[in-house]
A and B are shown apart, each in its own frame.
Chain A
Amino acid sequence: MDCQYPKKPKHKQVLVIIPAYNEEHSLPGVIASILEYPGIDVLVVNDGSKDRTSSVARKAGASVIDLPFNLGIGGAVQTGYLYASKYDYDVAVQVDADGQHNPGDLFKVIGPVLEGEADMVVGSRFVEFTGYKAPMARKIGIIIFSKVVSLINRQVVKDTTSGYRAVSKRVIRYFADNYPTDYPEVEALVLLKKLGFTIREVPVTMSQREHGKSSITALRSVYYMIKVLLAVFMNLIRVHNKEALK
Chain B
Amino acid sequence: MKTDIFFFSAMFSLGFLVVVLEFVRSRRLKEQYSLLWLFVSIFMIVLTLWTDLLEGVAERLGIFYAPSLLFIVGILFCFALILHYSVIISGLHTQNVKLAQEIGILNKKIDDLNEMVNGGNTLENNASDSF
Contact = CB atoms under 8 A, between A and B. Distances in A.
A129 interface: no
Interface residues of B, number: 13
Nearest to A70: B100
Nearest to A63: B108
A66 B97 CA distance: 13
Contact of B101 (A46, A54, A63, A71): A71
Given A66-B127, A68-B131, A75 B100 contact: yes
Interface of A: 45-46, 54, 63-69, 71, 75, 78-79, 82-83, 86, 181
B104 A66 contact: yes
Contacts of A79: 100-101, 104-105
A181 B104 contact: no
Chain B interface helix/strand/loop/mixed: helix
Contacts of A181: 97
A71 B97 contact: yes
Interface string B102-131: 111101100000000000000000111001
A69 B100 contact: yes
A161 to B, nearest CB: 22
Nearest to B101: A79
B100 A65 contact: no
Interface of B: 97, 100-105, 107-108, 126-128, 131
A65 B104 contact: yes
B108 A67 contact: no
B128 A66 contact: yes
Given A54-B128, A181-B97, A68 B104 contact: yes
A230 B102 CA distance: 29
A232 B127 CA distance: 36
A65 B131 contact: no
Nearest to A83: B105
A67 to B, nearest CB: 5
Nearest to A54: B128
23 contacts: A45-B104, A54-B128, A64-B108, A65-B104, A65-B105, A65-B107, A65-B108, A66-B104, A66-B108, A66-B127, A66-B128, A68-B128, A68-B131, A69-B100, A71-B101, A75-B97, A75-B101, A78-B101, A79-B101, A82-B102, A83-B105, A86-B105, A181-B97
Does more than half of chain A's interface fall in helix, strand or loop, or is it mixed?
mixed
Contacts of B102: 82
A69 B108 CA distance: 15
B128 A71 contact: no
Given A67-B104, A75-B100, A181-B97, 19 more contacts: A46-B128, A54-B127, A54-B128, A63-B108, A65-B107, A65-B108, A67-B103, A68-B103, A68-B104, A68-B128, A71-B97, A71-B100, A75-B101, A78-B101, A79-B101, A79-B105, A82-B101, A83-B105, A86-B105
A68 B99 CA distance: 10
B96 to A, nearest CB: 9
A101 B97 CA distance: 27
B95 to A, nearest CB: 12
A244 B102 CA distance: 20
A75 B104 CA distance: 11
Contacts of A54: 126-128
A96 to B, nearest CB: 19
